[in-house]
Amino acid sequence: MRQAHTVDQVRAAEAALMAELPDGALMQRAAHGLAHAVLDLLSPGAYGRQVVLLVGSGDNGGDALHAGAVLARRGVAVTARLLSDRVHEGGLAALRAAGGRVGDGPARPDLVVDGVVGIGGRPGLRPEAAAALSSYAGVGGGRVPVVAVDTPSGVDVDCGELPDEGGHVTADLTVTFGTLKVAHLVDPAASAAGAVHLVDIGLGPHLPAPVLEALQPADVAALLPRPARDAQKYTRGVVGVRAGSATYPGAGLLSVAGAACGLAGMVRYVGDDAVHDLVREHHPEVVGAGRVQAWVVGSGSGDGAAGTLAEALDDDVPTVVDADALDHAPRDRDGRDDLVLTPHAGELARLLDADRADVEARPLHFVRTAVDTFGCTVLLKGRHTLVAHPDGRVRATTTGVPWLATAGAGDVLGGLVGALLAAGLAPYDAASVGSWLHGAAATRASGGGPITAGDVAAALPSLLRDLLG
């Protein structure tokens, strides 16, 4: 499990650890981890390469200066561009002693290290920092690679948001220390972080429970339902699908395709006759109406969504509420907590009477608002899908590829989450595991190229075999 903590949590853990270590030891651990990440990025040969450090007044600037000293001792030509009258004195002395320089540096270095603002800095960059950064953009046919120290300068670390004014760093690699921060996992800041490399500096024993998690393959494998030795189809769970219509028959078929991944013992389809014929043709194992342990409702249901959702809710079983059914989800904070709502940004904006651009700019804020409004698990689809629980827990999904942005992919996801609910997972686990599997299946199906929603569904069985093996 990858875990993310707030700035205050990290600072408290650092203070506790520093009380156990010699003065400066924690910064040295961070600086050496940063330097070795830079060396890896400069490989196969770092000797003679040119690196510019953008150095602010905080500890991130100190990390950058000490890392620069390590790089200079490896033969890297390091120049520190100081953006404040107050910089870390020990780090500056170490850089100079190792042969590093202070000044503007070359116009086109091989790499820039962003040590401008620490994790406690305000969102946005001061004009001099923004000007320094922009001087390395587009010179000689492309942007100079940027490595951010801890988080990209200018982003909102605890919310994952970007500043309204002042700009921010867009990094190719972010090297962070001790634990992830929210901005590493939550878009749009996560997009600005690039690849994230975590350096262990010993904070673990001092960290409290995280505010955000990201499942990893071992976590998903541990959560996946497995049949008991004496299992039969009913004990493994029955998932029902009420989706699709004469206007949108494919939505019903794709919802069934996600549900029919093999995790549940049986899939039932209840709905339009035309869709039923399609389902029977492509999934002859799917049966009709009867008792279920979970419902999937809404995709492509059109005007019939209100009725089909009401019928599903009457069964009093966990229910995935998607697409057209979202407008009819019960808004009761003390009511049905066994629902999973699966909106994309546009749908959530409509439900909360917000602007879609605002939802995309502040997804963590709005998914939490949705949970408070509806009182159940909410899965907000996006590049990094967020799953939020009424008790405050949040998970981010980091699997997937841009090709997953394709029509019908959400229908497959809804069916998959429904199968996990029917097989016995709690709504929060079903939503976050389903989202992870959905992204991983898309990555497997894509192989770097275009995919369709059906490809994602088809990749699920082999992915599950590998995880369960």
Q: How far apart are CA 448 and CA 129, in angstroms?
A: 36
Give me the sheet containing 377-380, strands edge to edge.
180-181, 2-5, 212-214, 394-396, 386-388, 377-380, 339-341, 319-321, 294-297, 238-242, 266-269
Sorted by where each starts, the structural domains of the chain and their CATH numbers stand as 2-211 (3.40.50.10260), 217-468 (3.40.1190.20)
Q: Beta-strand (E) ranges in 247-376? A: 266-269, 294-297, 319-321, 339-341
Give average pLDDT by consecutive 10-residue segment, the chain, 469 residues: 97 97 96 97 92 94 98 98 94 98 93 93 91 75 86 97 93 97 98 97 97 98 96 96 95 98 97 92 96 97 95 97 96 83 98 98 98 97 98 97 97 98 98 98 97 98 96
pLDDT recorded at residue 118: 86
> CA torsion 149→155→159→163, rounded to 10°?
170
Quick one: 36 exposed, middle or buried, by C-beta within 10 A (0-12, 13-18, 19+)? middle
> CA torsion 261→263→266→270, rounded to 10°?
-60
The three-state DSSP-derived secondary structure of 185-210 is HCCCHHHHHCEEEEECCCCHHHCCCC
- Give which of 327, 331, 329 is closest to 346, Cα–Cα: 327
> Alpha carbon 373 to chain centroid distance?
23
Strand 339-341 with 377-380, pairing:
parallel
Q: How far apart are CA 136 and CA 115, in angstroms?
A: 15
- Give which of 41, 63, 185 is closest to 110, Cα–Cα: 41
Read off the pTM: 0.95
Q: How many CA atoms lie within 13 A of 185 on its CB side?
A: 28
What sign has the CA pseudo-torsion 369, 13, 7, 148? negative
Roughly how many angstroms between the first and final C-alpha of the chain, as a whole number?
A: 20
Q: What are phi and psi of 149, to 5 degrees?
A: -90, 115
Q: How far apart are CA 68 and CA 114, in angstroms?
A: 12
